[in-house]
Structure 1
């Protein structure tokens, strides 16, 4: 864990929070860089709903990506960034406006390719899961 990496500079308030995280109402609840797990909460806003009144799947996907990515980012060194190159989302149940709970995990970190997983739940019910591949790059 490198406290000069972007993730930790943001956590310590030395860099601004990403605008996407602000839009999604993201709040990091806990992070364990030893296990590569991050727990977060999102605010499912009325502005995110489809005509049926459910949170549109693109927003749920963004929430999952914004959970798995920071889980990996907590493990990176100064000058490293890990963009998502593949994101697979499974929608299991509708999500309504309100709080959503997310867990992101680093399943395996290789030399440059990393495999991630995540779950998004609401009121104790899993609404979506995801897997992702990210590639570590030097800035």
Structure 2
């Protein structure tokens, strides 16, 4: 898909990834704007570990936010953006440094509010965290 918008420019490699995405090791694997779904891979760096050696929950929450948000942003018009209003994360099992895969989907999208959900899985496919989010759709221009 060749669209010229900030999200699509980044996906197409025409612009650099945002700093937060670079920090998280964000890599798009699949996006379907018509379905409002996305799959993103992250590289959980050893620097993200807590004292127990697991990935600190704030990084997992950031990964989920950077999965669910783009699932919605991929469906928006060029003059729209969708900041997260609320993010609820459930941590199910420890995550170790390495590759994690986030999947997200738009559950419902109204005129100015959208509801999102997704999960984050380890290399064995086990769910390490789930999230739901509410986002507000706003015009940027």
Report the alpha carbon displacement of residue 17 of structure 1 after superposing the two structures with TM: 1.1
User: What's 1:130 paired with?
Assistant: 131
For residues 132 and 114 of structure 2, what CA distance do their matches in structure 1 show?
Answer: 11
User: What's 2:51 paired with?
Assistant: 51
1:55-89 superposed Cα distances (whole Å, 9 cap, x missing partner): 00000000000000111110111121100000000
1:66 matches 2:66: yes
Where 2:62 maps in the other structure, the secondary structure is: helix
Instruction: Structure 2: give runs of 5+ residues left out of the alignment.
Output: none
1:30 matches 2:27: no
For residues 43 and 13 of structure 1, what CA distance do their matches in structure 2 show?
Answer: 19
1:24-81 superposed Cα distances (whole Å, 9 cap, x missing partner): 0011100011110000111111100000000000000000000001111101111211
Count of aligned pairs = 139
For residues 83 and 45 of structure 2, what CA distance do their matches in structure 1 show?
Answer: 26
Q: Could you state the TM-score of these two structures normalised by the residue count of structure 2?
A: 0.94
For residues 3 and 30 of structure 1, what CA distance do their matches in structure 2 show?
Answer: 16
Instruction: Structure 1: give runs of 5+ residues left out of the alignment.
Output: none
CA RMSD of aligned residues (A): 1.4
For residues 80 and 2 of structure 2, what CA distance do their matches in structure 1 show?
Answer: 10
Contact 1:2 1:75 in 2 (8 A): no
User: What's 2:42 paired with?
Assistant: 42
Report the alpha carbon displacement of residue 4 of structure 1 after superposing the two structures with TM: 3.1
